[in-house]
């Protein structure tokens, strides 16, 4: 007889908690089914209960370690470029102080062709090739900024010259700084070309004269022009600067060499395309010098002013006729005042390339362009097309600003 029956037989009651089973009986929910094995603790559950905290600690330490490694690599990526930049700046400062400019001649051109030209005395041991460029710094404008400019003088000249077009804040401040050097009153400076010349003694004893530092030279595509006997040179606006150095170098070389067959350049054709009429004054002296010195007719000079309607247009017929008559009679161009005649509108580049294929078959022609990127694509395309369709091979080189 079970325990409940014994309690009833002896006259007392057994009080049980709600949901509790009598002694010796398992609760219904824990009763084992017929033929079912006893329940056991699962391995995965045991791993989760005993290893969760160590795994969490390990993940935290690994994340912290990776974070510090990432910070260390970030500093490495920053420090190395900064060190290279600092070394480059220090080297440039040292070189510019050793190769100091002793004498400066400045020509300031007024509006609308706002520009200036710097003729600097050549430092001792300074040598360069035509087509290369230098960096220029003026501490009076900015103590840290260096700006690149193509060299317009020839390697044989005893000076270094650069021509600078006002196109931004730094060049605008540089133009204004040299404009204030001239003692002429401001009213008289508006429409005339100003020339100022001074040396390092003036810089030391008078703060009115700005100091100029240079560094270089540095290579550019135009410096390889001597690899070609036939040259097509194209300069757009102030992009004529490296081409001016090349044609001056060609003239200088022809004076030294007596036999024309020994000259590296047999023919060079230069097209200068500019928008402002006042820009023609930038290189008028150089153009006249080349025109007078080119006794062997190696160089052809073509100036084009795009602010006037093209040749053949009825709106420019009268001025074209007057210009032609004046040039035929006096040998002086009406627009530029120089010995090189100015054409109106852009050159017909298809006709230009075609004339080279007719006059120079089976020749390599070096095409060098400097200017805005807009014309680069067109000239490169024409060089490829005429190289495929003729025996003349055009090799295109460009430099954009």
- In this prediction the pTM is 0.72
- Decide: 139 and 96 in contact? Cβ < 8 Å: no
Nearest to 199 by CA among 308, 120, 282: 120
What pLDDT score was predicted for residue 29? Answer: 45
Domains and CATH numbers, the chain: 103-218 (2.40.30.10), 221-400 (3.40.50.80)
**Those residues with Cβ within 8 angstroms of residue 239's Cβ, 6 or more apart along the chain or in another chain:** 369, 370, 371, 372, 399, 401
Mind listing the pLDDT tens digit for each residue in 74-108? 777 777 778 887 887 777 777 766 667 888 888 88
> 72 versus 378: which is more confidently predicted?
378
Take residue 247 and report the two structure tokens written for it. 């044609």
Residue recorded with tokens 């490296």 = 242
| For residue 26, pLDDT beyond 50 | no
Instruction: Please calculate the CA angle 313-319-323 and round it to the nearest 5 degrees.
Output: 120
Q: Rounded distance, CA 242 to CA 221, Å?
A: 10
Over residues 315-342, mean pLDDT: 66
Peptide bond preceding 217: is omega within 30 degrees of 0, i.e. cis?
yes
Three-state DSSP at 35 gives: coil
**Those residues with Cβ within 8 angstroms of residue 80's Cβ, 6 or more apart along the chain or in another chain:** none
Q: How confident is the model at residue 188 (pLDDT cuts 50, 70, 90)?
A: low
Mind listing the pLDDT tens digit for each residue in 356-376? 999 999 999 999 999 988 899
> 303 versus 329: which is more confidently predicted?
303
Q: Rounded distance, CA 396 to CA 398, Å?
A: 7
Take residue 348 and report the two structure tokens written for it. 């017909």
H or E element, residue 68: helix 43-98
Residues in the chain: 401
Q: What's the whole-number average pLDDT of the chain?
A: 78
Take residue 329 and report the two structure tokens written for it. 């009679």
- Decide: 299 and 293 in contact? Cβ < 8 Å: no
What pLDDT score was predicted for residue 14? Answer: 43
Q: What is the C-alpha end-to-end distance of the chain, expressed in Å? A: 112
Q: Rounded distance, CA 324 to CA 332, Å?
A: 10
Take residue 8 and report the two structure tokens written for it. 């009833």
> 360 versus 114: which is more confidently predicted?
360
What pLDDT score was predicted for residue 7? Answer: 45
Over residues 20-36, mean pLDDT: 47
- Give, to the nearest 10 degrees, the angle between helix 374-389 and helix 349-359: 30
Residue recorded with tokens 């006997």 = 229
What pLDDT score was predicted for residue 259? Answer: 61
Most confident stretch, 91-95, 187-191, 195-199, 326-330: 195-199
Q: How confident is the model at residue 203 (pLDDT cuts 50, 70, 90)?
A: confident
Q: How confident is the model at residue 262 (pLDDT cuts 50, 70, 90)?
A: low
**C-alpha distance from residue 116 to each of 120, 196, 398 (Å):** 13, 11, 24
| For residue 157, pLDDT beyond 70 | yes
| For residue 312, pLDDT beyond 90 | no
Over residues 42-50, mean pLDDT: 64
Over residues 2-23, mean pLDDT: 45
> 362 versus 197: which is more confidently predicted?
362
- Decide: 371 and 279 in contact? Cβ < 8 Å: no
> Residue 367's beta-bridge partner residues?
232, 396
What pLDDT score was predicted for residue 314? Answer: 53
> 50 versus 223: which is more confidently predicted?
223
Take residue 177 and report the two structure tokens written for it. 């700084």
H or E element, residue 387: helix 374-389
Over residues 131-146, mean pLDDT: 90
């Amino acid at each position: 007889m079970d325990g409940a029956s014994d309690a009833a037989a002896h006259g007392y009651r057994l009080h049980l908690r709600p949901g509790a089973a009598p002694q010796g009986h398992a609760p219904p929910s824990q009763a084992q089914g017929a033929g079912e094995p006893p329940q056991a603790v699962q391995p995965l559950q045991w791993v989760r209960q005993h290893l969760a905290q160590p795994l969490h600690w390990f993940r935290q330490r690994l994340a912290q370690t990776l974070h510090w490694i990432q910070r260390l690599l970030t500093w490495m990526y920053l420090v190395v470029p900064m060190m290279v930049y600092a070394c480059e700046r220090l080297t440039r400062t040292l070189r510019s102080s050793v190769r100091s400019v002793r004498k400066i001649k400045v020509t300031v051109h007024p509006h609308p062709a706002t520009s200036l030209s710097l003729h600097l005395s050549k430092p001792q041991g300074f040598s360069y090739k035509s087509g290369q460029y230098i960096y220029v710094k003026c501490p009076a404008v900015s103590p840290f900024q260096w700006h690149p400019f193509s060299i317009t003088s020839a390697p044989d000249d005893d000076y270094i010259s650069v021509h600078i077009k006002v196109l931004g804040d730094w060049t605008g401040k540089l133009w204004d700084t040299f404009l204030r050097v001239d003692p002429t009153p401001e009213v008289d400076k508006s429409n005339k070309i100003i020339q100022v010349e001074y040396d390092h003694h003036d810089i030391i004893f008078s703060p009115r004269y700005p100091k100029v530092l240079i560094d270089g030279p540095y290579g550019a595509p135009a410096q390889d022009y001597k690899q070609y006997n036939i040259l097509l040179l194209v300069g757009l606006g102030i992009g004529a600067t490296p081409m001016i150095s090349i044609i001056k170098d060609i003239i200088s070389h022809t004076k030294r060499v007596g036999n024309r067959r020994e000259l590296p350049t047999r023919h060079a054709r230069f097209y200068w395309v500019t928008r402002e009429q006042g820009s023609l004054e930038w290189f008028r002296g150089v153009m006249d010098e080349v025109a007078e010195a080119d006794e062997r007719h190696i160089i052809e000079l073509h100036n084009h002013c795009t602010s006037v309607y093209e040749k053949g247009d009825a709106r420019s017929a009268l001025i074209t006729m007057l210009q032609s008559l004046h040039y035929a009679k006096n040998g002086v161009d009406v627009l530029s005042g120089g010995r090189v005649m100015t054409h109106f509108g852009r050159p017909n580049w298809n006709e230009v390339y075609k004339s080279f294929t007719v006059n120079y078959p089976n020749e390599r022609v070096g095409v060098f362009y400097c200017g805005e990127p807009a014309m680069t694509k067109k000239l490169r395309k024409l060089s490829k097309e005429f190289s495929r369709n003729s025996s003349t091979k055009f090799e295109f080189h460009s430099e954009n600003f």
